[in-house]
């Protein structure tokens, strides 16, 4: 069955998440909207700040549509950021040009106690308005993907106050103050369920949970701070919205991917660039896999990219699969390479092999 998108009103992206084998696999890219696109840079230069883009529904809609217009991916991810949730809870967030996110770091129990769900829905209304307007503007066959950061990754930014390679301040705070940290994780779990549910109610057909910093934790903390909250989030969403698949992304989890998938029970799992594909295919059970082309390969393009794409498609043949990168599109990427990638993934295998 080639290209289910041709004769189905259901977007092809959700088919493999619901148990259907698709050849060729559907494709979308993490960070498919962003700085590698000249039309994004033009709009970004006119807006006051990155967060203004996120909180202005017309701008967020336009940016979400930019890559879909150019390339016709099977999925469109809402243009927003994981840090809108901490912002809505009261950890004021800003993005410093050329540096990255800055938050007032949570220093003690009192600071955690001041965070509140009370204004979350109101603060994030522009995101839900954007979801509605994107859904109305997208082709029926393009799935709209909502997303949120996972509790550990959000807590890591809130405690650290900025990005970091190791998140040492966040990890030591969590180990020293388990009760306070536990309250923070519980609050974030509740906030993430509310934020994902609201995106689903506004029109998202799939949601993805980004645990970008799962890879800095040893096994016991990974289980308590990543696996357990993700399990609660997936269970709550299955209860409220059983028809909407959840894709989880515990980036850097390595061998811990196996227990995570088993314990969390998602419809799909996104693999980072370091995960051996044949291992994932043979070990991760009855779940849809997504990934895992190295974004650097997409920067380089040409025969290097074609070789890697061929390897991934060959390894995943016969497996429920969504083609994606192992992390976000890099700003250095040539937009023409993205067009070539999509064409290559959609070319039947026999033809691509010259048969
Ligand atoms: O197209 C899409 O994927 C949708 C939009 C999206 C953004 N951020 C837009 C963005 C998504 C899904 C995210 C998720 C996100 N944000 C994550 C999880 C995924 C990952 O990368 O691990 C994380 C950790 C963040 C936090 C964040 N936002 C950082 C660390 C930065 C600065 C680094 C950078 O790339 O500039 C951002 C800013 C950000 N988020 C930009 C975009 C397009 C760049 C802002 C700009 O235009 O200057």
- The CB-side HSE value for 286 (13 A sphere, CA atoms) comes to 3
Give the separation between CA 207 and CA 248, rounded to whole angstroms. Answer: 9
Ligand 1 pocket residue status of 35, Cβ below 6 Å: yes
The residue among 125, 84, 78, 119 whose CA lies nearest residue 101 is: 84
Of residues 133 and 3, the one with the higher pLDDT is 133
Specify the range with the lowest mean pLDDT, choosing from 48-52, 66-70, 185-189.
48-52
CA 83 to ligand 1: nearest atom: 26
Give yes or no for residue 333 having a pLDDT over 60: yes
Give the separation between CA 130 and CA 55, rounded to whole angstroms. Answer: 8
Mean pLDDT value across the chain? 95
| 10 CA distance to ligand 1 middle (Å) | 28
Give the pLDDT mean for 55-66.
98
Provide the whole-model pTM: 0.95
pLDDT at residue 349, as a whole number: 74
What would the pLDDT profile of 236-291 be if each residue is shown by its tens digit? Answer: 999 999 999 999 999 999 999 999 999 999 999 999 999 999 999 999 999 999 99
Ligand 1 pocket residue status of 82, Cβ below 6 Å: yes
| 289 CA distance to ligand 1 middle (Å) | 22
Protein residue whose Cα sits closest to atom 41 of ligand 1: 34
Give the separation between CA 253 and CA 283, rounded to whole angstroms. Answer: 14
Give yes or no for residue 314 having a pLDDT over 90: yes
Give yes or no for residue 352 having a pLDDT over 80: no
The residue among 13, 7, 11, 8 whose CA lies nearest residue 27 is: 13
Structure tokens at 295: 């974004």
Specify the range with the lowest mean pLDDT, choosing from 173-182, 221-230, 344-353.
344-353
Structure tokens at 116: 């509140």
Structure tokens at 245: 């698949």
Mutate to test the pocket of ligand 1, among 28, 30, 31 (most ligand atoms within 8 A of CB): 31
Ligand 1 pocket residue status of 319, Cβ below 6 Å: no
Protein residue whose Cα sits closest to atom 6 of ligand 1: 81
What's 227's DSSP letter?
I
Mutate to test the pocket of ligand 1, among 29, 82, 96, 192 (most ligand atoms within 8 A of CB): 82
Give the pLDDT mean for 141-150.
98
Quickly state the pLDDT bin for 10 (edges 50, 70, 90): low
Give yes or no for residue 207 having a pLDDT over 70: yes
Ligand 1 pocket residue status of 324, Cβ below 6 Å: no
| 317 CA distance to ligand 1 middle (Å) | 31
| 80 CA distance to ligand 1 middle (Å) | 8
CA 78 to ligand 1: nearest atom: 4
Give the separation between CA 11 and CA 140, rounded to whole angstroms. Answer: 7
| 315 CA distance to ligand 1 middle (Å) | 29
Residue 305: C-alpha distances to residues 149, 242, 290, 299, 349 (Å) = 29, 37, 17, 9, 16
pLDDT at residue 354, as a whole number: 62
Give yes or no for residue 9 having a pLDDT over 60: no
Give yes or no for residue 177 having a pLDDT over 70: yes
Quickly state the pLDDT bin for 30 (edges 50, 70, 90): very high
Residues 47 and 91: beta-carbon distance below 8 Å: no
| 345 CA distance to ligand 1 middle (Å) | 25
Give yes or no for residue 329 having a pLDDT over 80: yes
Specify the range with the lowest mean pLDDT, choosing from 3-7, 189-193, 227-231.
3-7
Give the separation between CA 24 and CA 37, rounded to whole angstroms. Answer: 26
Orientation angle between helical segments 228-240 and 178-202, nearest 10 degrees: 30
Give yes or no for residue 2 having a pLDDT over 70: no
Give the pLDDT mean for 192-215.
98
pLDDT at residue 348, as a whole number: 77
Protein residue whose Cα sits closest to atom 23 of ligand 1: 82
Give the separation between CA 166 and CA 341, rounded to whole angstroms. Answer: 33
Query: Which residues are annotated as catalytic?
Result: 31, 35, 44, 81, 157
Give the separation between CA 66 and CA 324, rounded to whole angstroms. Answer: 18
């Amino acid at each position: 069955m080639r290209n289910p998108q041709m004769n189905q009103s259901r977007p092809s992206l959700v088919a493999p998440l619901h148990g259907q084998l698709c050849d060729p696999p559907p494709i979308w890219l993490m960070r498919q909207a962003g700085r590698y696109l000249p039309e994004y840079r033009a709009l970004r230069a006119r807006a006051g700040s990155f967060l203004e883009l996120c909180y202005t529904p017309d701008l967020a809609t336009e940016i979400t549509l930019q890559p879909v217009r150019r390339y016709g991916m099977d999925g469109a991810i809402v243009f927003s950021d994981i840090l809108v949730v901490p912002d809505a809870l009261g950890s004021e967030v800003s993005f410093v040009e050329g540096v990255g996110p800055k938050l007032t770091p949570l220093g003690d129990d009192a600071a955690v106690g001041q965070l509140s769900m009370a204004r979350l829905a109101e603060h994030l209304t522009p995101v839900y308005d954007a979801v509605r307007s994107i859904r109305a503007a997208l082709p029926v066959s393009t799935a709209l993907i909502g997303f949120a950061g996972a509790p550990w990754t959000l807590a890591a930014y809130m405690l650290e106050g900025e990005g970091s390679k190791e998140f040492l301040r966040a990890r030591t705070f969590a180990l020293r103050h388990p009760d306070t940290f536990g309250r923070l994780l519980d609050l974030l779990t509740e906030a993430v369920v509310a934020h994902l549910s609201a995106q689903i109610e506004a029109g998202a057909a799939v949601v993805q949970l980004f645990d970008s910093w799962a890879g800095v934790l040893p096994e016991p903390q990974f289980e308590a701070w990543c696996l357990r909250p993700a399990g609660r989030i997936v269970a709550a969403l299955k209860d409220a919205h059983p028809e909407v698949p959840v894709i989880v992304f515990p980036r850097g989890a390595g061998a811990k991917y196996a227990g995570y998938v088993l314990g969390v029970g998602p419809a799909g799992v996104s693999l980072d660039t370091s995960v051996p594909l044949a291992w994932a295919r043979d070990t991760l059970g009855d779940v849809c896999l997504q990934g895992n082309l190295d974004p650097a390969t997409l920067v380089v393009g040409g025969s290097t990219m074609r070789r890697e794409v061929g390897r991934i498609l060959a390894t995943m043949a016969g497996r429920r699969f969504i083609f994606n990168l192992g992390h976000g599109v890099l700003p250095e990427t040539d937009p023409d390479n993205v067009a070539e990638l999509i064409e290559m993934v959609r070319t039947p295998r026999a033809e691509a092999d010259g048969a």
